[in-house]
C-alpha cells in the first residue's frame, strides 16, 4: 500500500504547494512515484481553488519544478485517516491541525522541519507578505526537509 503524505500551511498557495512539488520531484527522481502519494492543503479557506502564488511558482520553476496544475484546498478532519504523514509548515498550522484532529491518540500531525534538524529551526517562515528572497529561503528549507522525510519513509515503510 502506498505511503500518503499531506503538507499543510495556512493558505495552500505558497509553502505547502511548494513542498508538494519539491517532494514529488524527489520521489519521482528516486523512482518511487507509485509508492508515495502526495498532496497539500491549507488550514484556511481564503484561497480555495486558486493556483499557487506566482512568486512561489517562479521560485520552484527555477529549480525545475512545475506547480501550475496544483489548486488550493482546505484541510478536513478525514485527512487524518487518509494520510500517514500530516506535516505542518509552522507551529500555527500545527495548532490549527490539532484543533480539527478527530482522534489525537491515533493521528499525530507533525512539523515538516523536524525532518531537517540541521536547519536549526522548526518553522518554514510565511513568505506571503515579504519579498522574493523569502521564497528562496522557503524552497531551501523544503528541499532539506524533503530529503529527510524520504529517508524516514524508507526507514519505516517497506517500499
Ligand atoms: P501559505 O502563505 O500559508 O504559505 O500559503 C499564505 C498565503 C495566504 C495568506 C497568508 C499566508 N493570506 O493571508 O491570505
pLDDT range class, residue 50, cuts 50, 70, 90: very high
Q: How many angstroms is it from 30 CA to the middle of ligand 1?
A: 30
CA distance 18 to 8: 11
**55 CB less than 6 Å from ligand 1?**
no
**151 CB less than 6 Å from ligand 1?**
no
Q: Is the pTM above the cut of 0.95?
A: yes
**90 CB less than 6 Å from ligand 1?**
no
pLDDT range class, residue 159, cuts 50, 70, 90: confident
pLDDT of residue 27: 98
Tens of pLDDT, residue by residue over 68-81, are 999 999 999 999 99
Nearest CA to ligand 1 atom 9: 11
CA distance 150 to 75: 23
Q: Which atom of ligand 1 is nearest to the CA of 11?
A: 5
Q: Which domain holds residue 27?
A: 3-156
pLDDT of residue 104: 87
* Element containing residue 42 per DSSP (H, E): strand 36-42
Tens of pLDDT, residue by residue over 96-112, are 999 999 998 899 999 99
Q: How many angstroms is it from 42 CA to the middle of ligand 1?
A: 8
Find all residues with CB under 8 Å of 62, minimum gap 6, and list them. none
Residue to mutate (ligand 1; options 126, 130, 135; most atoms within 8 A of CB):
126
Residue to mutate (ligand 1; options 14, 96, 129; most atoms within 8 A of CB):
14
- Segment 5-34 mean pLDDT: 98
SS3 label, residue 125: coil
Residue written as grid cell 508515495: 36
CA distance 55 to 53: 5
Residue written as grid cell 502506498: 2
Q: Which three cell numbers stand for residue 153?
A: 519513509
Q: Which three cell numbers stand for residue 94?
A: 500545527
Average pLDDT across the chain, whole number: 97
Share of the chain above pLDDT 70, in %: 100
Q: Is the pLDDT of residue 35 over 90?
A: yes
pLDDT of residue 1: 83
Active site residues: 9, 15, 126
pLDDT of residue 60: 98
**12 CB less than 6 Å from ligand 1?**
yes
pLDDT of residue 30: 97
Where residue 64 falls (left for φ over 0; alpha for ψ -120 to 50; beta otherwise) is left
**46 CB less than 6 Å from ligand 1?**
yes
**Any idea what the CATH number is for the domain that residue 126 is in?**
3.40.50.2300
Torsion 149-150-152-157 (CA) sign: positive
pLDDT of residue 80: 98
pLDDT of residue 119: 97
Number of domains in the chain: 1
Amino acid at each position: 500500500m502506498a505511503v500518503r503524505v499531506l503538507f499543510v500551511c495556512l493558505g495552500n498557495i505558497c509553502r505547502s504547494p511548494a513542498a508538494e512539488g519539491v517532494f514529488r520531484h524527489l520521489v519521482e527522481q528516486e523512482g518511487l512515484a507509485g509508492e508515495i502519494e502526495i498532496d497539500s492543503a491549507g488550514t484556511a479557506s481564503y484561497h480555495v481553488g486558486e493556483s499557487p502564488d506566482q512568486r512561489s511558482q517562479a521560485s520552484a520553476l527555477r529549480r525545475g519544478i512545475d506547480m501550475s496544475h496544483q489548486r488550493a484546498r482546505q484541510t478536513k478532519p478525514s485527512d487524518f485517516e487518509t494520510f500517514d504523514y500530516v506535516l505542518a509548515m509552522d507551529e500555527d498550522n500545527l495548532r490549527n491541525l490539532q484543533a480539527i484532529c478527530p482522534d489525537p491518540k491515533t493521528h499525530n500531525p507533525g512539523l515538516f522541519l523536524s525532518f531537517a534538524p540541521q536547519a536549526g529551526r522548526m518553522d518554514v517562515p510565511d513568505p506571503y507578505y515579504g519579498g522574493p528572497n523569502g521564497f528562496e529561503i522557503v524552497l531551501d528549507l523544503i528541499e532539506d526537509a524533503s530529503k529527510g522525510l524520504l529517508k524516514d519513509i524508507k526507514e519505516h515503510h517497506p517500499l
